[in-house]
Structure 1
Amino acid sequence: MKKIIFLIAITLIFTNCKDEAKDNGQLNIVTTTTMITDLVKNIGGDMVNIEGLMGSGVDPHLYKASEGDVNKLVNADIIFYNGLHLEGKLVEVFEKMGSQTKTPIALADALDKNTLIGSEYFASNFDPHVWFDISYFKQFAEKVATILSEKNPENAANFQANKNTYISKLDTLQTKINQVIATLPKEKRILVTAHDAFNYFGKAYGFEVVGLQGISTATEAGVQDVQKLATFIIEKQIKAIFVESSVPKRTIEALQAAVKSKGHDVKIGGTLYSDALGNAGTVEGTYIGMFEYNVNTIVNALK
């Protein structure tokens, strides 16, 4: 990490000495998670050039900046990231960027902290998986549109129009999700996954959420954790548990085996997208597609 910080400092010195004009007039934007990358694409359109640091299946909790990321960061006009210590290993890098007059934007700073879910696992003391509450993601959209408009005033009207269109799509998504979840009896709304990425989802839609690894994938699930959760699954007669695309599935498979050893069968209901979207070019590769896919997968498996 110290090597990366040194490279950023050196690169910033040379970059600041040579202010090159952009060839195409677009804002150069760097984003961290795939959810934020998709959001900025929807609002920025062809008026911005976006480079996302993380791809499909990448765990932001464990992501470390590579030397190849340095040029992307120092050449960016804006850096958007989630915040709340989600990108924990990038915090030191962002702090260095901020000290060199390039201030990264933590979108979660736009949220009312009094409404967030507390967490002892993060330096922020909050659960950072806020994108699973659509109302929070709408606030992310407002923040992105505001920052883009400030940086590129001549396209402000276009950014605001794109934002309004996208929020309208999020409203439609909300309606669809409510309709699907309404088909699942309330007593069956228990979601067991690899780690606690879905607490905001549970709060918004009335699910009890239990994660084997806790909120951060940096924590390890022990034998006692597995056995305790296995007993819970049997007591609640839960039909399905779920793996996550950005977390190795061996922990959930171990949980399934522990349940089976106690004389009860529980199926793996599918793979959910938690800390990253699906592959680019697929429906699940967008925030809206991911959310709808997750809800359909959860409800169909738990019915």
Structure 2
Amino acid sequence: MSTTLGPREGVGVKTVRPPHRSGKRRRSPMRVHWAMYLFPLPAVALSVVFFFLPLLQSFQYALTDWNGYSPSFNYVGFDNFVKALTGDSLFTNALENNLKFLIVVVVVQTFFALLLALLLVRNTRGSVVLRALFFFPAILSSIAVGFIWKFVYDPSFGMANTTLEKVGLGSLQGSYLGDPGSAMVWVAIVQVWFHAGQLMTVFIAGLQLIPRELYEAAELDGAGRWQQFKSVTWPMIAPATAIVVAYTTIQCFMAFDLILGMVGNPPSNAQDILSTRIYSTFANSAYGYAAAQSIIFMLLIGIVVVVQRRMLRLTQKDT
């Protein structure tokens, strides 16, 4: 302690100095009870049993000629992969159909989903009702949608040809799914009708997160509607666009039940895609070969999604 004199009273005043601290007091780290580590075990066990182990077994069977039920099989190395990519015209045809289907659906479905979102982004009563109407097809099952559009496209009594005839456009009637050259285009139209409203909601969520101040600043700079979309809207909805494109890509590769509902099983070569081709290979008791096709299928989806994400990033940077 030290004693000081007041400037006027001359009275001794005692001041207390805080004790010297050699360092900051460290908090002890929070201890997690060992029982907390037991909570994720059920989910981990289910993932291992129903996902990781079958995945590893698929890699094993892809190197064999196993027929799916015989107790014995022979290892053939990478012959199944070579056969699928170079010696199987049915597989390469399905791959070509799937890529055409993918390109059409990704471009058209993303465009219409974004267009609907831009038109219905405001939370008015009419917009909410229209959102529900456009979203409604997404709650239907793929098989039900396939059967509905199968009858719409029927060349004899389907609604498409009947409507064209009644409005005087009978010359535009066609066989639709029966035309090998355009069959996948008509399937793509159904896919867009099925899911555009669903992906519209993703774009609406992205649009509603854009700060209004950015548009006000663009207006002060003299930017028009298109310039605002190019410089503000499109870069700001990049995460939503990536989700939509990736989800659409997976949908296009997994349109198995939609195609079987529309054209039956097995589909013709004009409507055959990778998922239906792999199913047919399994059904023909070529389990090892089908496992190899499945691995190629999985790797292809991953490659396409990665390429799409990088292309979207470059597009957003350019704007």
TM-score scaled by length of structure 2: 0.22
Structure with the largest fraction of helix: 2
Structure with the largest fraction of strand: 1
TM-score scaled by length of structure 1: 0.23
